[in-house]
Structure 1
């Protein structure tokens, strides 16, 4: 995983409350860092695509269904982290973010977060709107893989 695999990044400074007495970030905070990245990703996607929050989702929402983090090195108190994300895959009702958390050029944590698109009332999965997929395709420099799409070699 290279930093160049991502169009989107956002900085995040490690706070004292996130580190143990030796100054090492507690592992649970990396999921919070990834979540900050997802929020900022959506904010930039909206700005880039001119999409307003919730637009085109019509009573639906994305819910986290799976997270996977692979720890490679530790962040330390006061490190300036570079949180990088991209939507790497679309299914019918799910999508996968790839996450890279860096300190400079050093990859500290890699991971994946899978979200399911669902009706807000019933919490039942629904297809991801094409308008949302189109906005992501325009935003990303590396297009997401799509279920049912032909693989080009």
Structure 2
């Protein structure tokens, strides 16, 4: 599977009063990593919306494990890859490293979603296009 890796410096605005990363910030990091992974595969969100008429890939489930805290000034390395494709959903695996240690692991289930044909305010899952699967499955 294609893997995207990026680093980020932990900023003060990411931290809670104890000086460690406030847990919802990790989810923002992982969302950003997912967007970067799709862009690396040639499918930034604007391209997906235009080419495949999808709204995006909203989160429907997430599981995370917090193994070690990250603090202001730490450098975090985040690896993101697709763990599994299903018909209209897929799992994204994120691993955040602080130095050599794994600090956070997360598995996020997302749905390939377009507008519902009967109510444009709603979303409806659609099959993930083979072209997108292939691009994200390459090594």
TM-score normalized by the length of structure 2: 0.84
Q: Which of the residues 27, 41, 50 maps onto 2:23?
A: 27
2:89 aligned to 94, 97, 104, which one? Answer: 94
3-state DSSP of counterpart to 1:62: coil
Number of residue pairs matched?
A: 133
Query: Relative to structure 1, is the Cα distance of residues 58 and 71 closer, same or farther in structure 2, using a 3 angstrom cutoff?
Result: same
Runs of 4+ off more than 3 Å: none
Gaps of 5+ in 2: none
Structure 1 gap ranges (5+): 142-153
Counterpart-to-counterpart distance in 2, 1:134 and 1:73: 34
Q: Does 1:12 align with 2:11?
A: no
CA contact (8 A) 2:15 2:21 kept: yes
Deviation at 1:60, TM superposition (A): 4.9
- Distance change >3 Å, CA 83–CA 6, structure 1 → 2: farther
* Residue in structure 1 matched with residue 53 of structure 2 by the alignment: 58
Residues 133, 56 of structure 1: CA spacing in aligned structure 2 closer, same or farther, 3 A cutoff? farther
Cα-to-partner distance string for 1:97-148 (whole Å, 9 max, x where unaligned)? 011011121100001011111223441111111111111122xx3xxxxxxx
The answer for the alignment partner of 1:104 in structure 2 is 99
Change (3 A) 1:6 1:69: farther
Q: Aligned equivalents of 2:132 and 2:53: distance in 1? A: 11
Hey, what's the Cα distance between the residues in 2 that align with 1:76 and 1:6? 29
Distance 1:17 1:136 in 2: 32
TM-score, structure 1 normalization: 0.77
64-73 or 114-123: bigger deviation: 114-123
